Amino acid sequence: MIRLLLSWLIAGCGAPPTPSARLLFIGNSYTYENDLPHLFAALAQAGGRPVTVDMVAVGGATLAQHLTTPDASARITAQPWDFVVLQEQSLLPAFAQRRTTEMYPAVRTLVQLVRKAGAQPVLLLTWGRRDGFAEFGFRDYATMQDQLTKGYRTIADELGVAVAPAGEAWRRGVAQDAGLALWQTDGSHPSLLGSYLTACVLYVTVFSVSPVGLPAPRGISEVEARQLQHLAYDTLLEHTERWHVPKTALPQK
């Protein structure tokens, strides 16, 4: 946000516009790689929806671990957020027992805390490993993504929480273009393209509008940006009720 503020002042715009939304991100390296909150803020600014963002992200942290430290809880109540984005550790939701005993209790507690603070919780559905995780029974990416999606959807359905289905947008992307480089070389963390696609999914989820046509950020070509923007919008548009997004929120193309 400091960078956004400086850009407004340098441009001679005076005080920045009143934010249309305030978002807090709680997660781990999948959130802080490529500075997902800033990517989202820049995208929102390009769409005429300037936002305030903040982040509590610790490498490898689970949502349950965030609850054992004061930072996340204190940040949730520190100011009046509109949305709090919750990103679970990248493997945990794929395992039935661990999501039941670890993820779901943490999500229930965090959702209650977020709603009590007057904000809307959003679950950030992440992506599977590019090559699966054979030693844990996931023979390929699709097998792992199936379980991650099931893990997030189950608790989202229970609590009526909106889901930003980034992982499903990634699935759609690699199905359409096997060469789409959404992962870093480790096959786990997001590349800049992967983080931008995730930001686009969040943009559609939060604002219920299409990002298609917004200018590309630095490091991403216009062609790449259009491809990723369409992937994000199409993923939400196909099954709005599946992600607890109102059916009327997303206009048809």
Domain ranges of the chain: 20-243
Paired with 83 in beta bridges are: 23, 120
Average pLDDT score, the chain: 90
Which parts of 79-217 fold into alpha helices (H)?
A: 96-98, 104-116, 141-159, 166-176, 192-207
Whether 194 and 180 have beta carbons less than 8 Å apart is answered as: no
Supply the pLDDT for residue 18: 53
Residues of the chain with pLDDT under 50: 1-16, 248
Supply the pLDDT for residue 8: 32
What is the C-alpha to C-alpha distance for residues 43 and 196, in angstroms, rounded to an integer?
9
Supply the pLDDT for residue 250: 56
Question: Quick one: which of 219, 167, 163 has its CA closest to 193?
Answer: 219
Supply the pLDDT for residue 238: 77
Supply the pLDDT for residue 243: 86
Topology of domain 20-243, CATH: Rossmann fold (3.40.50)
Q: Say whether 125 sits in a helix, a strand or coil.
A: coil
Supply the pLDDT for residue 251: 55
Q: What global pTM score does this model have?
A: 0.90
